Structure 1
Amino acid sequence: MLKKEYFKNQNLILLFFMIFSAYIFSVVCRFYWVFWASQFNEYFFNNQLMITSNDGYAFAEGARDMIAGFHQPNDLSYFNSPLSTLTYWIYKLSPFSFETIILYMSVFLSSLIIIPLVLIANEYKRPLAGFVAALLASIANSYYNRTMAGYYDTDMLVIVLPLFILFFMIRLVLRKDLLSFICLPFIVMIYLWWYPSSYTLNVALIGCFLLYALVFHRKETIFYMSIILMLITLSNIAWFYQSAIIVLLFCFYVFKNEYFKLKFLIILGILTLIFLILSGGVDPILYQLKFYIFRSDESSNLTQGFVYFNVNQTIQEVESIDLSVFMKRISANEITFCVSMIGLVWLIINHKSMILTLPMLFLGFLALKGGLRFTIYAVPILALGFGFLICSLREINLKKYDLKVVNTITALVVFLSLIPTFFHIYIYKAPTVFSQNEAKQLDQLKKIANREDYVVAWWDYGYPIRYYSDVKTLVDGGKHLGKDNFFPSFVLTKDQISAANMARLSVEYTEKSFYAPNDSLLKKDILQAMMKDYNESNVDLFLNSLSKPDFKINMPKTRDIYIYMPARMSFIFSTIASFSLINLDTGKFNQPFVFSAAYPLSNQNGEILLSNGVYLSDDFRSLRFDNGTSVDIHSFIELNSIQQNDYKEIPIDENGQYYLFYIKNSTIPYIQFILMNKVMFDSAFVQMFFLGNYDKNLFDLVINTQDAKVFKLKR
């Protein structure tokens, strides 16, 4: 008895050592970015490194407001969101600064992925396989990218939690124990709370568990009851009601097991499914299928008329990726990926309960169609396959070769498989979302603007603006359908009179829409509501009327409006223009527009090759495109200082179609030349930011730097 207990304790110590070692490994690897980024002052704000995830500022804003104890009505704050709530409690219970917490949370929480991996492998009596899998999965390319230091987002637990679900499912299959039975629904509940978009994956996992039970354990009621308890967590009732029902059913099942026959469970299951359907339980699944697979934009359905630019065409995360990138993001290189696939097949053959992991694997493979963001779901599953195959080969070789030799070779193979991940960590030097100067400018705006004021800016900057300036925005990373993005795009790309009028209208109508009934036109489409109030049925005539000096705004001014124009917007201004330079009746572009930022690559044969593929004559008078077409430049604009409005315009050919900007001492990385046509040259962004030509009757310049300018609307 003592001997058996001794070995049991030895196994627990070994298991703990593996978990602890893999966790430290994962954390240390993520500290490399901190070491690298600490060399650059421009990455610091409030004496701490800033975060690298744009969406992270949404949760940071929510946590900040929770700490303050309030937020403004309709400010879109993520007040009480799961990540904001967790951050709030860590801040309250720890001695660390807020900036330090949001910088390092992903480091320590995402590294928890190693625990369920080692525990799953341990259920198969292969803890070493789990250890190897943990090393690979914890720093695999896609998982590292979305959980590195500074990547403050829900991704830090998005893979950890479903792995715990899989662990308890597998443990329940193998042990049929009450601990797994009661833990399963609560882990599902926590996962849904943490990441509501996990609804589809949870349904897939539960469905797979049901099929598995029907095939391999059809007469064992504990599996059906477990499924019913998990389904209850998918309902739309409050968590405390869910918890109470789960605990009551659990107790009845444990103490009155004789009543839970198959017929009773079938009836109970059917009633649960009916309740889920009636409560809209399938709606989240349909929405995600529409957006990621069928690429439909909900705004076009809501408006019943206008065809806005489809926003998901501009998001890299939902674009299809090629096979090589796909394999590298999951397993760091193609060879490891192939070995992992072989190992996973071998693992499923030896342990059929690994079939339960297939929903996560298939979701990862959805990246080939739905975009690279899905690859992280396949990372831990294939890592288990890799670890299992490596350890199986080790055991086979132990029968033929010396233990030290086999262990040395095994360690070498594992190390070689990790080299590509180390290299990726070394080269993946992600910048912070904003530079120190940009953060300071927005912090300065916080002292100028009131909390009820609006900043009109592109959606990429919505969350950071709200975090640093504590104001309201029209769009952000969570509110940026085509019908939303139309307004900031219009303000930035049209003439200044149109921009001023649309800025005021869009802000006032947005505020008004918060109090409108859900079935009202104002709630569905603000632009159509504007047209109705101005008795205009033709959208082009209405939008053109905004450029007239005598256009009258027929509603009172309720707040101040600021327009944020950062230099970094030059990278994406062509995309921004796409949202408003469009025929809303047909979805086609009204007129051609060009805005292309570039830097010089080489200078030979009297031509300068630019990074956008255009050849520029070294006298800056003409351009040559890849198709051989040569055109003269209308004007060459040499910018000495954007902040001081110091520039020189050199007319070249009044019939030329293009304007060429040359930015001396550019602070914008990888931009020295900007090529544009007249449509873009006349835009508010180009005239006001680059040239400083703003209408002083319409705007005040309140912040002026090389990195960004902020204008206050006078109207």
Structure 2
Amino acid sequence: MRLKSFLSLAFFVFLLCVLLRLYYPFVLSAYPQYFYNQAPLLNTHDGYFYAQGAKELLKLYQEFQQSFALEFGQSPIWHLPNFLQDFFTLSISSHLPLYKSTSEILSILTAFLTLCLPFNLEQVLFILPAIFGSLIVFPLMALTRNFGAIPCALSGFLSAMSVSYYNRTMFGYYDTDMLIIVLGLSIGVIILRTLRTQKALDFAILFSLSAFSLLYYSHLRYVLLGYLLILLCFFLKDLYNKSSKESPMQWIILGLFFILTLVIFFPKFTWVWIFLGFFLGFFLDILHKTFPIHKILFFLYFLCNLSLLLWKLLPNFLQSHYLSDYLADTTNIGLHYLNVLDSIAEVSNIDFSEFAYRISGGIFWFILAILGYFGLIFKDKRFTLFLPFLALGCFALVQGLRFSFYAVPISALGMGFLFFKIQTILVSFQNRILKSLLLACLVLLVIAPHLWHIRNYVVAPILEASEAEILLSIPAKKGDFALTWWDYGYYVHYFSDLQTFVDGGRHSGIQNFPISLALSTNEERISYNLAKMLLTGETLESHFQTFGIPKTLENLKNKQKWEYSPHALYFILPWRMLEIFPNVMRFSQVDLSNGKPQKLDFFALSLEATKDRIYFKNNIALNPNTGEVTTQDLHFRIFKSIDLKQHTTQIFDTQSSLVAILLPNGKTLLCAKSYLESFYFKGLFFENLDKNLFQKVLKNDKITIYKLL
């Protein structure tokens, strides 16, 4: 396929993938409660981490702009180079406190695009994932360019629209995922191009892009290591075959290893390594053409670099939370906290059928795609280079569904090659109309599961506009804190500018324990003391070490003196936390001496309701008029029913341990009455917290906020 035709086709597929993603915002437009600042809110919690960085960069730029006293009508973009120079100088300085994500590539890029485009920050945050995520069609179609127009377009479409990849690059899913596969795959494409062309510019782009990719997402180093090991196998094969042809492969290996080592050992200077990589490409191109490297020196260099990388990376890998199923989550001898991965859906185990569906649309298509990929390898060994993506994708079967999207490009490659072979077979067909219809039907069958998924996968944003607005209304000063569950940490900080103790990047068992205890305990004094302890910078572990676990927990029930803090603390109690409240409790309902979790009392939210029946999980039904609960084997009555909307209470059986709470949103909670005494229930439902300890400052139908006195 000619370059002009290829670029036209690739751009068409790219536009098609972006347009199909518009179905989600189209459906969302019917729900105005999810719109804030003229854009839908995000549907991923981690997105607000990078959004906060972009927000602070824009605020910093506004301050910079004001200091320059710009003339009316002059575009602030003209002063952007000066601002960038000041930013990179000041961000290293200790006297300028900046949020940690301000140095993230994604935050910087988002802030820059917000300045350049006629959209506000919230609109850019929502749009960016669909645009950047769809860019995957270009490197994938570059790999299948020689397969013909239909297989090439199909593989590009599948790479961008397959279930798992779509989920993580849809509108509103603002996270690093939008470019991870794009960058990783592009490096592989440029490696193959450099091996073919041996041009200095390709060397330069390869090394520079590799450094940039590692700055964007550091875990791409595992993809690069995979590339290096496979390239080494290719090189050893050439040596074994005694190929006399001078290959740039060893210079690619040397350059990639050099960049990888620099970025891993000196990550603060990655911007420097990006530019260094560009010039390194030209330098190595000259070397490989004029001074052939001795094979012994090459292997010594390779082994030395590999040893250094393993020495640096192996301890981090062993300490990774993905290995925490096999390594205990402890910080001090004798303290055993709950493993946070047990509570995250994205890292929960999935069965093979779900795995295959997320990658290829079903088991049948997955098997065909994998057979196609290995058939492609058999035909052209160069495509072995992309095996690291398949390996990382298969990691989903062990450590959760989030890894499945790494295998999507492999499935797309395999399906593209399969259609290439089908086209080759159909060449002998004399009836062109029948041949075209057959190909069209096959294409529709392949893409149908993914289109159907887009039609049905309409997720709600992680918060509503009323939640964002009440957080903005908190009368907070710089340095004040919020105490809330880690799921909400990033967006609480984004909208309120309150510091949080836990969030999407800080939620280990040891960090979650005091937050969980403060929210779930039935002793308000414990919640108060824990909040004071966190506010003054003390840790629960230091008290455990000094007084022991039982004595520390007993001390928290009593009045204590704490060091004065100039900062305020706000308890953020969202209604949405009710759905995960048992999970929140689990982190503190654990025996720290052995890690054994305590059994939680019954807790269930209603699934559906009729006129005289409310249904819960496990075929449990409640008659709200009589208080009768029926299951397959039992029949009993609840203690009482509490209607939070009508503010009424009805007693049924004083001997029962269950209560029903009729929520304002129409759902019903059936739970043990022990939950009624928890801090969360008393603060959110009944608003009867001790007024000498907590002051209610704000409330709406989604969040209630208290200030620590």
Do these two structures clear the TM 0.5 threshold for a shared fold by scoring above it? yes
Amino acid aligned to 1:530: H
Amino acid aligned to 1:339: L
Give 2:621's match in structure 1, choosing from 615, 623, 648: 615
Greater shift in the superposed pair: 308-317 or 409-418: 409-418
Pairwise CA distance, 1:242: 6.9
Alpha-carbon distance in 2 for matches of 1:361, 1:16: 27
Give 2:4's match in structure 1, choosing from 6, 13, 21: 13
Alpha-carbon distance in 2 for matches of 1:656, 1:156: 52
> Does the aligned pair in 1 maintain the 2:582–2:600 contact within 8 Å?
no
> Does the aligned pair in 2 maintain the 1:458–1:475 contact within 8 Å?
yes
Alpha-carbon distance in 2 for matches of 1:261, 1:478: 46
Match of 1:650 in 2: 650
Match of 1:391 in 2: 420
> Does the aligned pair in 2 maintain the 1:661–1:674 contact within 8 Å?
yes
Matched, 1:355 2:384: yes
Pairwise CA distance, 1:360: 0.4
Matched, 1:567 2:575: yes
State the Cα deviation string for residues 236-292 of structure 1 (Å, max 9, x = none): 2223257537734752552463341212222322333344345x133443344xx33
Amino acid aligned to 2:181: I
Give 2:137's match in structure 1, choosing from 109, 114, 117: 114
Match of 2:688 in 1: 693
> Does the aligned pair in 2 maintain the 1:598–1:612 contact within 8 Å?
no
User: Cα distance 1:74–1:613, how it changes in 2: closer, same or farther (>3 A)?
Assistant: farther
Pairwise CA distance, 1:37: 0.9
> Does the aligned pair in 2 maintain the 1:200–1:285 contact within 8 Å?
no
> Does the aligned pair in 2 maintain the 1:112–1:160 contact within 8 Å?
yes
> Does the aligned pair in 1 maintain the 2:627–2:638 contact within 8 Å?
yes
Match of 1:54 in 2: 45
Pairwise CA distance, 1:294: 5.1
Give 1:501's match in structure 2, choosing from 508, 523, 529: 529
State the Cα deviation string for residues 376-424 of structure 1 (Å, max 9, x = none): 1111111111111112211221133244442342233212322221111
Pairwise CA distance, 1:313: 0.3
Match of 1:424 in 2: 453
Matched, 1:332 2:388: no
> Does the aligned pair in 2 maintain the 1:114–1:138 contact within 8 Å?
yes
Alpha-carbon distance in 2 for matches of 1:94, 1:602: 50
Match of 1:231 in 2: 257
Give 1:273's match in structure 2, choosing from 306, 309, 313: 306
Greater shift in the superposed pair: 251-260 or 554-563: 251-260
Amino acid aligned to 2:707: K
State the Cα deviation string for residues 644-702 of structure 1 (Å, max 9, x = none): xx522333333322222122xx33xxx62112224322101111111122211111111
Match of 1:470 in 2: 497
Match of 1:523 in 2: none
Pairwise CA distance, 1:216: 4.4
Pairwise CA distance, 1:95: 2.7
Pairwise CA distance, 1:130: 2.5
Give 2:286's match in structure 1, choosing from 254, 260, 265: 254
Partner of 2:537, secondary structure, is helix
Partner of 2:459, secondary structure, is coil
Matched, 1:639 2:638: no
Alpha-carbon distance in 1 for matches of 2:598, 2:277: 58
Structure 1 vs Structure 2 CA RMSD: 2.5
> Does the aligned pair in 1 maintain the 2:638–2:658 contact within 8 Å?
yes
Pairwise CA distance, 1:487: 1.7
Partner of 2:687, secondary structure, is coil
Alpha-carbon distance in 2 for matches of 1:411, 1:169: 34
Amino acid aligned to 1:553: K
> Does the aligned pair in 2 maintain the 1:63–1:80 contact within 8 Å?
no
Give 1:142's match in structure 2, choosing from 164, 187, 196: 164
Matched, 1:480 2:503: no
Match of 1:282 in 2: 314
Partner of 1:562, secondary structure, is strand
Partner of 1:389, secondary structure, is helix
> Does the aligned pair in 1 maintain the 2:129–2:171 contact within 8 Å?
yes
Give 2:560's match in structure 1, choosing from 549, 552, 567: 552
Matched, 1:433 2:471: no
Match of 1:491 in 2: 518
User: Cα distance 1:591–1:271, how it changes in 2: closer, same or farther (>3 A)?
Assistant: closer
> Does the aligned pair in 1 maintain the 2:396–2:404 contact within 8 Å?
yes
Alpha-carbon distance in 1 for matches of 2:18, 2:397: 30
> Does the aligned pair in 2 maintain the 1:23–1:111 contact within 8 Å?
yes
Aligned length: 665
Amino acid aligned to 1:222: P
Q: How does 1:449-468 map to 2 (within 5 A)?
A: 449-468=476-495
Alpha-carbon distance in 2 for matches of 1:179, 1:370: 39
Greater shift in the superposed pair: 109-118 or 342-351: 342-351
> Does the aligned pair in 1 maintain the 2:211–2:273 contact within 8 Å?
no
State the Cα deviation string for residues 526-566 of structure 1 (Å, max 9, x = none): 2121345xx512x1221132223xx2133223311100111
Amino acid aligned to 2:322: Y
Greater shift in the superposed pair: 38-47 or 565-574: 38-47
Partner of 1:563, secondary structure, is strand
State TM-score, norm by structure 1.
0.88
User: Cα distance 1:245–1:53, how it changes in 2: closer, same or farther (>3 A)?
Assistant: closer
Match of 2:33 in 1: 42
State TM-score, norm by structure 2.
0.88
Alpha-carbon distance in 1 for matches of 2:200, 2:437: 41
Partner of 1:696, secondary structure, is coil
Matched, 1:68 2:56: no
Match of 1:85 in 2: 108
Match of 1:5 in 2: none
Alpha-carbon distance in 1 for matches of 2:581, 2:7: 52
User: Cα distance 1:590–1:317, how it changes in 2: closer, same or farther (>3 A)?
Assistant: closer
User: Cα distance 1:190–1:217, how it changes in 2: closer, same or farther (>3 A)?
Assistant: farther
Match of 2:587 in 1: 579
Match of 1:643 in 2: none
Structure 2 spans left out of the alignment, 5+ residues: 64-90
Structure 1 spans left out of the alignment, 5+ residues: 1-9, 511-525, 641-645
User: Cα distance 1:187–1:630, how it changes in 2: closer, same or farther (>3 A)?
Assistant: same
Amino acid aligned to 1:36: V
Partner of 2:648, secondary structure, is strand
Match of 1:381 in 2: 410
Match of 1:346 in 2: 375
Pairwise CA distance, 1:343: 1.5
Partner of 2:656, secondary structure, is coil
Alpha-carbon distance in 2 for matches of 1:408, 1:591: 60
Alpha-carbon distance in 2 for matches of 1:652, 1:331: 53
Amino acid aligned to 1:231: F
User: Cα distance 1:217–1:125, how it changes in 2: closer, same or farther (>3 A)?
Assistant: farther
State the Cα deviation string for residues 37-56 of structure 1 (Å, max 9, x = none): 11211111112221211110
User: Cα distance 1:253–1:174, how it changes in 2: closer, same or farther (>3 A)?
Assistant: closer
Alpha-carbon distance in 2 for matches of 1:679, 1:76: 40
Alpha-carbon distance in 2 for matches of 1:678, 1:460: 26
Alpha-carbon distance in 1 for matches of 2:485, 2:593: 23
State the Cα deviation string for residues 79-113 of structure 1 (Å, max 9, x = none): 21121111111122223211111111111111110
Alpha-carbon distance in 2 for matches of 1:486, 1:120: 49
Match of 1:198 in 2: 220
> Does the aligned pair in 1 maintain the 2:17–2:160 contact within 8 Å?
yes
> Does the aligned pair in 2 maintain the 1:597–1:612 contact within 8 Å?
no
Alpha-carbon distance in 2 for matches of 1:253, 1:339: 40
Percent identical:
27
Pairwise CA distance, 1:633: 2.2
Give 2:547's match in structure 1, choosing from 536, 545, 548: 536
> Does the aligned pair in 1 maintain the 2:259–2:277 contact within 8 Å?
no
Amino acid aligned to 1:20: F
Alpha-carbon distance in 2 for matches of 1:252, 1:686: 66
Partner of 1:303, secondary structure, is coil
State the Cα deviation string for residues 558-578 of structure 1 (Å, max 9, x = none): 311100111111100000000
Partner of 1:231, secondary structure, is helix
Match of 1:517 in 2: none
Alpha-carbon distance in 2 for matches of 1:403, 1:12: 26
